[in-house]
């Protein structure tokens, strides 16, 4: 029963955050520059910290680089398919639903993988070797690093575009 509660609380929190993210992602979003600036700043800081720690593990660093490239490519496609609308209460923007769904599916899939396969194996390994030192090997996973950097590059790149180009595009319309 204790193990169920141990996994239930994080899963419920993740489900809540995913629900909020999906609800905000699908459809038009009100342009709120300050909020987007904060997000770009957070993504940039997290990305820089993770890249700095990736130098210690070359395989993870390769995952970082692949993730940045794929995230940049997704951001480029999202920028090309963005739609801007002026409404009475402000500017609204929306990217292609398939691109945003793909990014969310990558994130959800990797979290599901970590909970279903990696966490039980890490717990068994830690128990076998008597400590948390064995758990550190799962923090060096290049797939997780790549997917995380896809998210970082995608959101930071797309939000920078929204901050700079959406007001200009709306003024031209």
- Dump pLDDT digits (tens) for 62-111: 888 999 999 999 999 999 998 888 899 988 988 888 888 888 888 788 77
Listed in order, strand segments (DSSP E) in 4-98 are 29-30, 83-87, 90-94
SS3 91: strand
Domain ranges of the chain: 33-172
Give yes or no for residue 134 having a pLDDT over 80.
no
Question: What's the confidence (pLDDT) of residue 75?
Answer: 94
112 and 10 Cβ atoms separated by less than 8 Å: no
Residues 6 or more apart whose Cβ sits within 8 Å of residue 110: 143, 144, 147
What pTM was estimated for this model as a whole?
0.77
Between these two residues, 173 and 114, which has the higher pLDDT value? 114
Neighbouring C-alpha atoms within 13 Å toward the C-beta of 94 = 13
Phi/psi for 30 (5° steps) reads -70, 135
Question: What's the confidence (pLDDT) of residue 113?
Answer: 77
Mean pLDDT of 3-23: 76
């Amino acid at each position: 029963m204790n193990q169920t509660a141990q996994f239930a609380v994080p899963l419920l929190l993740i489900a809540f955050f995913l629900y909020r993210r999906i609800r905000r992602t699908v459809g038009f979003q009100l342009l709120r520059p300050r909020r987007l600036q904060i997000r770009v700043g957070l993504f940039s800081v997290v990305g820089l910290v993770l890249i700095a720690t990736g130098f210690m593990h070359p395989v993870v660093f390769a995952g970082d680089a692949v993730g940045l490239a794929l995230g940049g490519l997704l951001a480029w496609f999202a920028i090309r398919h963005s739609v801007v609308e002026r409404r009475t209460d402000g500017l609204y923007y929306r990217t292609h639903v398939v691109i945003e769904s793909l990014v969310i599916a990558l994130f959800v899939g990797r979290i599901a993988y970590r909970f279903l396969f990696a966490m039980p194996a890490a717990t068994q390994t830690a128990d076998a070797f008597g400590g948390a030192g064995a758990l550190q090997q799962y923090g060096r996973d290049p797939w997780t690093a790549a997917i995380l950097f896809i998210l970082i590059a995608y959101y930071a790149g797309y939000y920078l575009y929204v901050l700079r180009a959406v007001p200009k595009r709306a003024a031209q319309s």
